[in-house]
Chains A and B, each alone.
Chain A
Amino acid sequence: MRSLLLRREVSCVEVVGACLQRIAQSPLNAFVSVCPERALRQACAVDERIARHRAGMLAGLAIGVKDNINVRGWKTTCASRHLADYVAPFHATAVRRLLRQDAIVLGKTNMDEFAMGSSGESSHFGPTRNPHCLERVPGGSSSGSAAAVAAREVWAALGSDTGGSVRQPASFCGVVGLKPTYGRVSRYGLVAFGSSLDQIGPLTLSVQDCALVLQVIAGHDPHEATSSRLPVLDWQRELDRGISGLRLGRPAEYFQPPASAEVRDAVDATLAQLVGAGAGVEEISLPHTDYAVATYYVTCTAEASSNLARFDGMRYGARSAANDLDETYVATRTLGFGPEVKRRILLGCFVLSAGHYQAYYDKAQRVRTLIAQDFARAFEKVDCLVTPTAPTTAFRMGKRTVNPLTMYLSDVYTVSASLCGLPAISVPCGRDANGLPIGLQVIGKPFDEGTVLRVARAVEIARGQR
C-alpha cells in the first residue's frame, strides 16, 4: 500500500475514500466516530506533499485511533456515556507523531468502556463484532482497533494495553498487536486506566507494519515523566536478521489448562517451525504465574479507582442534577459509568482503603516483584518467551459477561508482561477447527522490541506469509 501511494499509482483521497466506504458498510461496529471531511481534507494535503516528495513515513495511510486516545478537536468518549460529548483539547503524543508522518486518522475505534473488559461488549455504543464470525467477540478492550484492521477498514490502528488489551483482541481477530515496553511510547493523551500498566501499542496486518508504526510513535516525551530516553531504533531493519541462534523460552505454566488443546498445539507446532528456522527452544518455569491475574486485578482496579475520580461531572462530562454536592457526584457517576467500570472502581476503593491496603494492594505489589524476578531469571537463560496469547480463540458474545471472573481469566497469559512492563506481541499462528485465528505471544526483555519483532516475523514467514 505504501509503495502504491508513493509511486502515485493510487491517491490518498482514493484510499481514504475506499476505507470510509468500507467502514460505512461494515457490520462490525468497530468505530465510535468517523470524520470523513477531516480525513479527506487531510488526504488532499498529503497527496500534494507526496507530489512534492515531501511526504512523511506514513504518508496517506489510514489509521484508526482507540477512543481513549486524544485527537485534538475530536470526541474522546472512552466508549462511556459519561464522556459521550467530551471533545479533547490536545493531541496525544502518539497521535501527534502519527500525524507528523502524514498518517490519516479516519476515526475513533470502539472499545470496552474505559478499556475495562476483554470482549468489546461493554461499550456504551454497543458491542464490536469479530470479522471472522459476527456472533463472536473480537476481544478487548481494543476491540474496534483489532476488528477494523482485520477487516481492512484501516491500514493500522492504535490500541491501549493495560493487561492485554492490544494483544488479546489481536489474537481473536487474527492481526498483529504489540504492547511496547512500559515507557517506550508516551502515555500523554491516553486516558489513564491503570497508569503503571497502560501502554499505547499498534495493531496491524503485518509485523513489518507494526515495526514501522512503533518507530513513529516511540521515544521520549517531555510531557511524560515515565517515558524512556532510550534511542528509537529502525525496527523494520531488525526484522531481516532472522532468528538463527536465538534462544526461545517455553514457560511450562502457559501450556496447561485453561489453555485449550487446539491453542497449545498450534503454538507448539509453530515453535517447532521456529526451531527449523534456526532458533533453540528451552523449557522455562515462571513459578508465580498462578498469582498474576489476582495481582493484576488488585493493581489495575486500585489505579482505576483513582484515575476515574476526575470524572465527577464538575468541569466536563455529563452532570446529573441533584440537591447537593455529594448527591450530584453520586447521581453523575451512577448514570455515567457502566457496570464493569463501577465494579472496578468499587474493588479499587476497597483494596486502597485504610483497613485493607496491607492485605491487598501492598501484598499485590510484593507479588508483582516476585513475578518480575521470575522473568528476570528466565531471561538469564533465554532471549525471549513464546506462549499462547489467550487461552482460547474468540468466544461467543454474551457468554462470559454473566460471570466477570471467567472474563478476567481471558487475560491469564497477557497480564504478567504488563505487570513487569515487558514488551510483548501477539501474532497469528494458526486457526482452530472453526476457522478462528489463534494468537502466539512473544514476550521480550525490557526495551528489546527488536527481538520480539524478529521472532514474530519468523512466525509469519513460517506460516508462508511474505
Chain B
Amino acid sequence: MAEGLEAVIGLEVHVQLLTASKLFCGCSTAFGAAPNTQVCPVCLGLPGALPVLNRRAVELALRLGLALGCEIDRHCRFARKQYFYPDLPKGYQITQFWAPLCCGGRMEFEVDGTPRSVRLRHAHLEEDAGRSVHAEAYVAEDETLVDLNRCGVPLVEIVTEPELHSPREAACFVAELRRLLRCLGVSDGQMERGSLRCDANVSIRPKGAPDQGVATEIKNLNSLRALERALATEVARQVAVRGQGEAVSHQTLCWDAAAQAVAVMRDKEYAHDYRYSPEPDLPPACIPERWIEKLRRALPELPLARKRRLEREYGLPPERAYLLTDDSSLADYFEAVAKAVGVPQLACNWMTGAVARTAKQLHVSIAEFPVPASSLAKLLVEVRDGALSDHAARQVLSTMIATGRPVEDLLASRGTSLPRPEVGRVIEEVLFQHSTLVSGYRQGKKQLFGFFIGEVMRKLPDEADPQEVRALLQERLAGPPADPEGD
C-alpha cells in the first residue's frame, strides 16, 4: 500500500440456508440435480402460482442474526425487486428491503492472531435466481440455456459496513463467517457449490479520511483465494490510477480467475431502478418473542469464543485451537478426550494427526467417526502412562476401526497372538462357507471385508491379533477368485 493511503472494503455475502426445501415452495434444494428437475409452478413463476414462506428458512436466518447480535425485526416482511433477466422467471426477486429480518450486529474475527471486529449493516432473507448456461459443451455458441433449479433457494445476504482495510482481513472475515455458519448449522458454507458467495466494494482513500470515496464492486467471488487475490489486484489497480492523478470510476467488475485479473462488467453510470414494491402475496409473518428466546437459548458456543477458550483452558497454540474449532463436533471430541486424559497436548496431537487422517481416509466427518471419544481416551491413557508406544497405539486404533472390537479387549490381548496355522485354517473355513460373498468382494463389494473379519474373529479365541487376521485375510482375498466347486 502506498504511503498514507488505505483500502476500504465492504462485503455482501450471500449464504444459502441449509433447508431441505426452497424459500417459497416445497421443491428440493439438493445440489447437482439435472437441470430443471427441481422446479414447480411456484419457483417457475407460472401464471397463478403464489409463494408460501418456509418457516425453517426464517428460523435459520434468526439463528444467524441472534448469533451476530443483530436486532430482530419481529415482522418478517418482503418486497419485490424488479428486473428483467432470463433466469428470473417472475420478473422480480422476492427479497427484504424496507425491514431486513436482522439489523446491526457485529462479527468478531482474527487476522493472523490479531482480534478484529466488523459492524454489520443487516442480514436479510431472499430467494436465489436461476442460472444461465453458456460455454458448456452441450450449448451452441450463440445459445443460452437456463437452469431454474436454484430459483427460490433460500439465501441470507449479510452486508458489512465498509470497515475492512486489507484483502487479508476480508478473507479472514469470510473464513470466520463460514466457521460460524457451519457451527450454527445455518449453511454448509461450500463456496465451490455456490452456497457462499461474495461481492466486494472496494475503494482507496487517504488514511483516516471520513468517507469511503468512489468504490468499485467486484461480483461473484467464489473462493477465499479468489476474494483475496481479486481485492489485492483491484487495490493495486486503484492505487496506480490514483498515482497517475486520475479518478477511479464507479464500475462493476468481475474476477477472471484464469487471467488473475479484474474485468469490467458494466459501468455504473446509470443506476438501476429496481422499482421496489411491497410483496402483496406474503402477509407479514409475526415472529413471537417466545420463538426468538428459544432460539437464543439454543445457540452454541461460537467458534471464535471456543477457539480462545481452548487456548486459555488447554494451553493450545492458536493454529491448533483454530483447527479444532473448525467443526464443533471435532472440538467436542477433543474436549472429551482431553478431559479424560488430562494431557491436552497429547489429545490435540492425536486429534489433528491420526484421528484427522483416519477420518479423511474413511471419508467420514468426526461426528461419524467409528471410535468414540471414551475409547480413544482409554488408549491415550496407556500412552500417557508409557504402557504403550505411540506406534503401538496407532495400531490398536486402526484395529478398533477395522474390527469394531472394544478398546479394552484389544488392550488386554495386546502382544499375544495365535500361531499362524490356526488363523489360516479359520480364514479358509470362513471363505469356503461364504464363497458367493468372496466373489462379490472380488467384484468390488469391498465393504464385505468387515464381515469376513468379524466371522474369522468370532471363530477364534479372544486372544487373536486382529492386525494379523486383517493382514492374512487381505492377502488371501487378493488372490485368484475362489472356485466354489473345486475348493
Contact = CB atoms under 8 A, between A and B. Distances in A.
Contacts of B52: 222-225
B80 to A, nearest CB: 5
Contacts of B90: 309-310
B51 interface: yes
B136 interface: no
Contacts of B191: none
Contacts of A361: 277
Nearest to B285: A225
A351 to B, nearest CB: 9
A446 to B, nearest CB: 14
A196 interface: yes
Contacts of A310: 45, 47, 89-91
Nearest to B47: A191
B53 interface: yes
Interface in B1-51: 41, 44-51
B48 A90 contact: yes
Contacts of B89: 310, 314-315
Contacts of A315: 44, 89, 146
A96 to B, nearest CB: 12
Contacts of B48: 69-70, 76, 88, 90, 92, 188-192
A252 B51 CA distance: 41
Interface of A is mostly: loop
A69 B45 CA distance: 15
B237 to A, nearest CB: 30
B117 to A, nearest CB: 34
Contacts of A70: 47-48
B280 A195 contact: yes
Given A306-B91, A353-B275, A361-B277, A89 B283 contact: no
Given A306-B91, A312-B84, A314-B146, A90 B51 contact: no
Interface string B277-290: 10011110000000
A366 to B, nearest CB: 13
For chain B, give the interface size range: 20 to 34
B82 interface: yes
B143 interface: no
Contacts of A302: 277
Nearest to A194: B280
Contacts of A108: none
A379 interface: no
Nearest to B83: A309
A84 interface: no
B487 interface: no
A352 B84 contact: no
B273 interface: yes
B460 to A, nearest CB: 60
A325 interface: yes
Interface string A222-239: 111110000000000000
Given A195-B280, A196-B280, A354-B275, A309 B47 contact: no
B125 to A, nearest CB: 15
Contacts of B146: 314-315
Interface size band for A: 35 or more
Interface string A296-311: 0000001101101111
Interface centre among A69, A196, A306 (most CB of B within 10 A): A306
Contacts of B282: 225-226
A352 B80 CA distance: 11
B interface majority secondary structure:
loop
Contacts, number: 97
Interface in B273-315: 273, 275-277, 280-283
A89 B282 CA distance: 23
A223 B50 contact: yes
Interface in B85-107: 86, 89-92
Given A315-B89, A352-B277, A353-B275, A90 B41 contact: yes
Contacts of B45: 310
A315 B48 CA distance: 15
Which of B50, B91, B276 lies at the interface centre, i.e. has the most chain A CB atoms within 10 A of its CB?
A: B50
Nearest to B146: A314
B275 A352 contact: yes
Contacts of B92: 306, 309
A86 B47 contact: yes
Most buried by A among B46, B47, B86: B47
A89 B41 contact: yes
Contacts of A184: none
Contact of B280 (A86, A303, A326, A357): A303
A329 interface: yes
A40 to B, nearest CB: 26
Contacts of B86: 312, 314, 325
A349 interface: yes
B283 A225 contact: yes
A350 B215 CA distance: 29
Interface in A206-226: 222-226
A228 to B, nearest CB: 10
A104 interface: no
A12 B60 CA distance: 54
A187 interface: yes
A83 B273 CA distance: 28
Contact of A353 (B47, B80, B273): B273
A354 B91 contact: no
A196 B89 CA distance: 21
A308 B45 CA distance: 11
Contacts of A189: 48-49
Interface in B213-257: none
B163 to A, nearest CB: 27
A349 B50 contact: no
Nearest to B281: A195
Nearest to A309: B91
Interface string B65-82: 000000000000000101
Nearest to A316: B46
A185 B120 CA distance: 42
A90 B82 CA distance: 26
B374 to A, nearest CB: 47
Contacts of B49: 90, 188-189
B277 A349 contact: no
Interface string B381-393: 0000000000000
Contacts of B44: 315
A306 B78 CA distance: 14
Contacts of A89: 41, 46
Contacts of B82: 305-306, 309, 352
B425 to A, nearest CB: 66
A316 B46 CA distance: 9
A83 B281 CA distance: 22
A88 B41 CA distance: 10
A86 B46 CA distance: 10
Nearest to A186: B50
Nearest to A92: B48
Nearest to B51: A225
Contact of B273 (A78, A306, A354): A354
B141 to A, nearest CB: 15
7 contacts: A89-B46, A190-B48, A192-B47, A226-B283, A306-B277, A310-B47, A352-B276
Q: Which 7 A-B pairs have the closest CB atoms?
A: A309-B91, A196-B280, A195-B280, A352-B275, A189-B48, A191-B47, A70-B48
Given A83-B47, A90-B49, A312-B91, 18 more contacts: A76-B47, A86-B47, A187-B50, A222-B52, A224-B50, A225-B52, A225-B283, A226-B281, A226-B283, A303-B280, A306-B80, A306-B91, A309-B90, A315-B89, A315-B146, A326-B84, A354-B273, A357-B276
